[in-house]
Structures are given as C-alpha cells and as structure tokens.
Amino acid sequence: MTSRLDGPLKVTGRATYGADNNFPGMAHGYVVLSTIAHGEIEAMDVTAAKSAPGVLAVYSPFDPLALRAPTSSLLGETWVPMQDRNVAYYGQPIGFVVAETYEQARDAAMLVEVSYRALPALTSLRDGLATAEDAPPAMDGSPPSLSVLADGVESIEDALAASPVVVEATYATAGQNHAAMEPHSAVAVWDSGVLTVYSGTQGADLQAADVASALREEPASVHSVNPFVGGAFGGKGKTSIPTFLAAAAARALDRPVKTALSREQVFTATANRPATVQAISLGAERNGTLNAIRHDSWSATPMDRSFVEPTSHGTSREWYSTRNLAISQKMVPLNIPPTTFMRAPGEAPGSFALESAIDELAVALDLDPIELRQRNNSAAPPGRDLQWSSKHLDECFRVGAARFGWSERTPQGRTDGDWLVGLGTATAMFPAMRFPATVGITLHDDDTAEVATSGADPGTGLLTVLSLVGGESLDIAPEKVTPRLGDSSFPAGGMSGGSTATASAGSAIMVAAPRVIDDLLALASSPGAPFEGAEVSYADGRVLGGGASMTFGEVLHAVGRPSITATGSSAAGEEMTKHSFSSFGAQFCEVRVHRWTREVRVSRMLGVFDAGRIINAQAARSQIMGGMIWGVSAALHEGLETEANGRTANGDLASYLVPVNADIPDVDVHFVEHPDTLHNDLGARGLGEIGTVGMAAAVANAVHNATGIRVRHIPIMIEDLLPE
C-alpha cells in the first residue's frame, strides 16, 4: 500500500487551496443573490453600497462586468451572471460588490436594494410532472425514449401482461448539494496582460479556456492554477461564478481580486443534483427470469434545461438481461438553481429505484435477492451486440455473501432486544470510460523524473497514481517520480471526472514513457555521447550497452543536458466499438431499526467490487468507502428542501444533513482483481463513483427486511417507518 503523497500537506494545513492565495493590493468580492424565484429586476439601488466603507465597485445588470457565456464541447454552455435582468431562481447571482476587505464587501452587499417584477414560479417536481418534456438525447446520442422488444412482441405493455409475476412501483430521490469542504472561490491576478486564476476546478485547462472565452481574451493569456481541490464530485466541473467575477473585476480594477462564496451561497450560486421521480415495472417468469423492464423517469431541471439526471439510461438499459426493455427520460423545468453532474450521475439515483424494484420482485417470487440478480446477469447491455469486456459480478456477490454472512439472513429479518435487524443488498455498476489526456514526462540529470498533466486531483488520489504508474512505466522507484497536476500550462489532461482519471492519465503515461526512453537512448548513442555507436537498451532506470551501464541521470549529465522531455496522449478509440465497458460491484448493508423510536442505524456495510486492476489499494479502498458513505447519506440524511417561493429551506450545513462519524460503522471493502486490458493497457477501470451506486437501495432493502415497510423515496424519515 502507498500513502497519498498529498496527505501530509493536507492534514498539516500546508496545502494551498485557491482562496489561500493572497497578493499585495488584493481586493475582495461578494456576490449579491436574488430573493425571488422568477421575475425581472426592475431596479437596483446601489447608492448606499457604493458609499459604504472600503467599497471599490458595485456591479449589476444595469452596470455589468464584461462577460459572455462560454461553451465547451464537453459541458455545453456555462451561464455567467448579470448579462440580463431576468431571474430564474431564488438565490441567483444578480450583483457583485468589490471592497478592500471581505467584511466590507459583504456588509455593503447587504445595502443593495432590489426591486422586482415577480412572476409565478414553479418549484415542485411533483407539481410540475404534468408539464414534463422529453429530455435531450443522452451523452451517447440515444433518444430520450427507446425500446428493445422480442420478436412477435408489439409493446412493452404486452410483454408485461404476458409475465406471470409483475411488480410496479414509483420511486423518488431528493435533490442534493455537493457540499464539498472547500466552498467555491477564486483569486484572479493580472500581470503584464496575463491572467492567473487560482481556483478549485476539475480541469485547469478547461477552466482557462472558459475564462478566456468569457473575457474575450486570447487563450494563451489565461493561466489556471489549482494544485489542490477541496472536494468536487462534479460540482467543480464547470467554471464557477466566483472565477468569472473575480477575473473580470480584476481586469476592470487593475488589481488582484479574491471572491469566495459563503457556505449558504454555495447551495444556490453553484449547482446541485436534481430530484427525480421514477416509475418501474418488472415482469418475470416464476423462476425469476426477467421478461420485461419498463423504466420511466422524470428529472427536475432548471429553466435553461441545462442538465438532466439520466436515471433510465444509466441503469435499466445496462444492468440486467431481459427480452423486452422500454425506457424513457423526461425533464421538468423548474425555477430552481442550476443542476449538474454529481457523483455517479444517473446511476446513483437510478440504482435506488431499479434495485429497490428488483428487491420487491424477489419478495414477490419468494426468491433470494442475490439469486434473482444472478439469474438475470447480463453478458451485454440489452439490445447491443457488444459484450462486456470483463465482468465478474457473480464473483462479487459470491465473495460478498460469504464475507457478510448472507446465509444467516431470513425474509423477515431478526430482532435484537428493542432493535429490528435487517440485511439488504444491491448491484452496483458504473460505466468505464476514458477522456482524452496528454501527459508530459521529464527525466532529470539527478535521476528523478517528473510526470505532469493539467488534470486535477479533487481528492481521488490521482497525484499518487501518477507517481506509481510513472515509476512502473519508467522502471524506477515511484519515490523518484514527482507528479504535477492542476496547472493549465502542463499538457492538457482534461477533466478529472466520470471515474476516468486513472485510466485516461495512466494510459497517456504508458505512451509518453517509451517515447522519452527512446529519446534518451538516441541521445546516449549519439556522436560524442557515452554510448556512441553502441547498441543500447534500457532497464531499471539505466542505459545499457557495450558492456557499460549508466543511470539516465548520468547520461544526461555526461552530454550536458539537464533534462529530456516527451509527451504522450491517449483517448478511447477502436476498442469502444468492440466491447461494452463497466465496473461492477455488490453492496451489502445491515441496519437496525429501533422498535419504538423507529430510528435507523446502519450497523454493517460491505462492498465487493470488480474494477479491473487496482493501482493503489489504500486509496482505492478510501474512495470506495467515501462512496458507500455517500450512499448511506442519500438513503438516510441528505435532501434539499425547497419552499414554495423557491427558497432553499436547508441551505446550510446546520440543517442540510450529512453523516457524521457516529452514523457510520466500520466499512468493509474488497476487490476482485481482474485487469481489463481491453479497456486500456493499464488494465484499470474507474472506481471513484461506483461506491455510491446501489448503496441507498441496499439500505432501503435492509430497512424493509427489518420492518416489512417498503419506503420508495429517499431520504428515509422516521415518520416513514411508523407502524399503521
């Protein structure tokens, strides 16, 4: 096991995050938010704010900063504030105050008076279901509705009607906030026409491109730096409001500007996971073979329709073998804050519905829930000819059942004094993907190497992975490899998201390493070099030839070169047309429900995962544990609550509940390691998000096993478990 290289810096407070940067003459910005959910700003009186102590400037739709909305091929258009007077949600950024200190900017912002022409607002997903629209095509281009029917079957309704056993139910998941430890912030500094932005992001080169586009500046004039990110989970994929505002204000005022959102502002001035409603129908033979799956989903989306939670396409289309499948994805435009990717988008909320329904079918069939899942294990996604490149889900369930003591489970749970005890399980799947990435490798004359890419380590352990894969690829100890991340001046690493970073950056390292070694060997045998004219080879960090041996540092020193550099790029290619790729897992959970108070306590958790080769077991276990805890949080704690007027009722960490240590028992994590070299030469598949998938359903299924009460929405409340 390898400890995280950034661990000592983080736990001792020596890691420098975006807002930790300070510069002489730095001003501070504070964002003004709307107090209605829908309407138009008629006037903004900023007189008192402008005359407040220390205030340098006040910006509004009537006097805006020069910005435009940038667009990227990966994430689409990113909204920037104050470009018109329209208000689409409560808490929308509508103004910006810059002062000498944060406190002065904050206090002056409270003096801004806004007059609105309020319009009716739609803020409830349930109330808006009647106005639902078809969602846009999925990321792979699939239409919002599709079906796969067996020969002779005319409709999914016919397939369900012909099934001896049918389970139908509607499930709901609450919206969530990313609640990263580091609130969104930025420090912007202009120097000689070049802007440097210090801001937590999941992709430094993407952020630099966004800011350059928004400011109408040349891309080469914007430099993004983010060596450390205090949590992201998708919420720092798009460039944040503070980044745009700080950059534009720093240019307008010709001085550095720092902007940091308060914790309360993070809940509306960034983006959240949308709430969903999902209707599932399962039709099966009496032996448990699935004959039909219908999964209809509705996702909340903001009025700009910028993001939809793809619950149907992310689960029912992939997970189980069935002769007949019909899925649909709709969206409900609401006057709510922006929505975006959050850890396991689609799969996390989608798995709650699908895996709860599978559990209900197991009950209806009087069949063990694991046995039902294994009988319907898919060799390929329904309707596709591309088989899974590598799938060991059955092994995950076998190993997990033995480790967890599943054989002791009874259909009615058991009692332990005043506690009702139940066991639940669920499947976990998350697609294995790769994003384009370029990595630079530099060999130095002191026998050390540097591996650099602009991608980010938002807590995933990528920094350490670079050193491990770099050391392996260069045939040197990983301690001699210095990894570099989070700087747009490095080779473009793209986004660290979608559980892609290890496979993407690792594959690029495996391209760059042979190149830099080839260049080294050519240099070593060149005229005047130590191995001039000799046949040379490379092993253990040394150049070999003519009976002699020198380290690469000695070779570089001998030829007067301090270093040598090569780059390598990698992206998903032809292999994606030959196989389907996913990581897999089996989630297990034990809960205890108090007989009288109905409080729920998770007492045991186990996750067994098939994610290809595990590069760093310690970091991998930590990532999975975090995801599993997130699943418990979704099941029992987290949920955004929106008042009728659009205000987020629990927009702070006092009332937005997340688990604390007392809520989480020891978490057992196990990997079944089968390197997937069809996916990439490294053999690793993503695991940052799969730990979340299925866990909320496992908790809910365990609650049913303990109490006999089926709760079809999350988070589960005490009142949901009161006996009738």
Going across the sheet that includes 86-87, the strands are: 86-87, 39-45, 113-118
Alpha-carbon distance of 608 to 343, in angstroms, equals 19
| pLDDT tens-place string over residues 297-332 | 999 999 999 999 999 988 888 899 999 999 999 999
pLDDT at position 310, please? Answer: 94
Domain identity same for 80 and 186 = yes
Compute the average pLDDT of residues 678-683. Answer: 92
Compute the average pLDDT of residues 667-677. Answer: 96
| pLDDT tens-place string over residues 236-259 | 999 999 999 999 999 999 999 999
- pTM exceeds 0.85: yes
Domain identity same for 583 and 524 = no
The phi and psi torsions of 44 (rounded to 5 degrees) equal: -135, 115
Whether 307 maps to a domain, the answer reads no
Pair 109, 97: CB distance under 8 Å = yes
Helix axes 241-253, 204-215, angle to 10 degrees: 50
| pLDDT tens-place string over residues 412-454 | 999 999 999 999 999 999 999 999 999 999 999 999 999 999 9
Whether 310 maps to a domain, the answer reads no
Tokens standing for residue 431? 């697609």
Q: What does DSSP say about strands 194-198 and 222-225: parallel, antiparallel, or unpaired?
A: parallel
Tokens standing for residue 525? 């045998």
Domain identity same for 75 and 211 = yes
Q: CA-CA-CA-CA torsion for 50, 56, 58, 63, nearest 10 degrees?
A: 110
Domain identity same for 199 and 239 = yes
Q: CA-CA-CA-CA torsion for 358, 364, 370, 375, nearest 10 degrees?
A: -80
Structural domain ending residue among the three candidates 239, 272, 305: 272
Per-residue pLDDT at 574 exceeds 80: no
Tokens standing for residue 664? 């989480």
Domain identity same for 633 and 544 = no
Structural domain ending residue among the three candidates 507, 542, 571: 571
- Given the structure tokens 């970073």, which residue do they identify? 501
pLDDT band for 519, please (50, 70, 90 cuts).
Answer: very high
Domain identity same for 66 and 116 = yes
Tokens standing for residue 411? 């259909």
Alpha-carbon distance of 108 to 53, in angstroms, equals 8
Report CA 493 to chain centroid distance, whole Å: 16
CATH number at residue 643: 3.30.365.10
Alpha-carbon distance of 689 to 691, in angstroms, equals 5
CATH number at residue 32: 3.90.1170.50
Element (H, E) at 37: none
Whether 81 maps to a domain, the answer reads yes
SS3 57: strand
Partnered with residue 548 across adjacent β-strands are: 545
Element (H, E) at 207: helix 204-215
Give the other-Cβ count within 10 Å of 115's Cβ: 10
| pLDDT tens-place string over residues 51-99 | 999 999 999 999 999 999 999 877 888 999 999 999 999 999 999 999 9
Q: Rg of the chain over CA atoms, in angstroms?
A: 27
Pair 249, 214: CB distance under 8 Å = no
Domain identity same for 414 and 508 = no
Alpha-carbon distance of 678 to 674, in angstroms, equals 11
SS3 389: coil
Question: C-alpha distances in angstroms, 690 versus 81, 251, 516, 694, 708?
Answer: 34, 42, 35, 8, 28
Q: Which residues of 698-712 are buried (b: 16+ CB within 10 A; e: fewer)?
A: bbbbbbbbbbebebb
Going across the sheet that includes 449-452, the strands are: 481-484, 449-452, 437-444, 563-570
Per-residue pLDDT at 177 exceeds 80: yes
Pair 336, 649: CB distance under 8 Å = no
Whether 96 maps to a domain, the answer reads yes
What residues are annotated to the active site?
Answer: 689
- Provide, for the chain, the percentages of residues in helix, strand and coil under a 3-state DSSP scheme, each rounded to the nearest 5: 30, 30, 45
Domain identity same for 633 and 548 = no
Tokens standing for residue 14? 């020596």
Q: Where are any strands of DSSP class E within 38-103?
A: 39-45, 55-59, 71-72, 76-77, 86-87, 93-99
Whether 157 maps to a domain, the answer reads no
Helix axes 347-365, 617-636, angle to 10 degrees: 70
SS3 618: helix
- In the chain, the number of structural domains is 3
User: Mean pLDDT over all residues of the chain?
Assistant: 95
Alpha-carbon distance of 450 to 470, in angstroms, equals 8
Question: C-alpha distances in angstroms, 662 versus 454, 592, 629, 720?
Answer: 38, 14, 12, 22
Of 142 and 695, which is predicted with more confidence?
Answer: 695
Domain identity same for 101 and 21 = yes
Alpha-carbon distance of 599 to 607, in angstroms, equals 24
pLDDT at position 413, please? Answer: 97
The full 3-state SS of 107-149, as one line of letters, equals HHHCCCEEEEEECCCCCCHHHHHHHCEECCCCCCCCCCEEEEC
pLDDT band for 1, please (50, 70, 90 cuts).
Answer: low
Domain identity same for 265 and 398 = no
**Burial of 402 by CB count in 10 Å (0-12 exposed, 13-18 middle, 19+ buried)?**
exposed
Pair 684, 614: CB distance under 8 Å = yes
Structural domain ending residue among the three candidates 507, 540, 571: 571
pLDDT at position 316, please? Answer: 81
Alpha-carbon distance of 205 to 110, in angstroms, equals 35
Whether 363 maps to a domain, the answer reads no
Domain identity same for 589 and 547 = no
Alpha-carbon distance of 329 to 474, in angstroms, equals 47
Whether 666 maps to a domain, the answer reads yes
Q: Any residues with CB less than 8 A from the CB of 92 and at least 6 apart, and which?
A: 33, 34, 81, 268, 269, 337
| pLDDT tens-place string over residues 40-57 | 999 999 999 999 999 999
Of 461 and 119, which is predicted with more confidence?
Answer: 119
pLDDT band for 724, please (50, 70, 90 cuts).
Answer: confident
The phi and psi torsions of 441 (rounded to 5 degrees) equal: -120, 130
pLDDT band for 534, please (50, 70, 90 cuts).
Answer: very high
Pair 298, 278: CB distance under 8 Å = yes
pLDDT at position 666, please? Answer: 87
Pair 1, 618: CB distance under 8 Å = yes
Domain identity same for 62 and 29 = yes
Whether 156 maps to a domain, the answer reads no
Alpha-carbon distance of 692 to 577, in angstroms, equals 28
| pLDDT tens-place string over residues 579-617 | 999 999 999 999 999 999 999 999 999 999 999 999 999
Question: C-alpha distances in angstroms, 165 versus 363, 422, 583, 604?
Answer: 11, 25, 30, 32
Range of the domain at 555: 437-571
pLDDT at position 140, please? Answer: 77
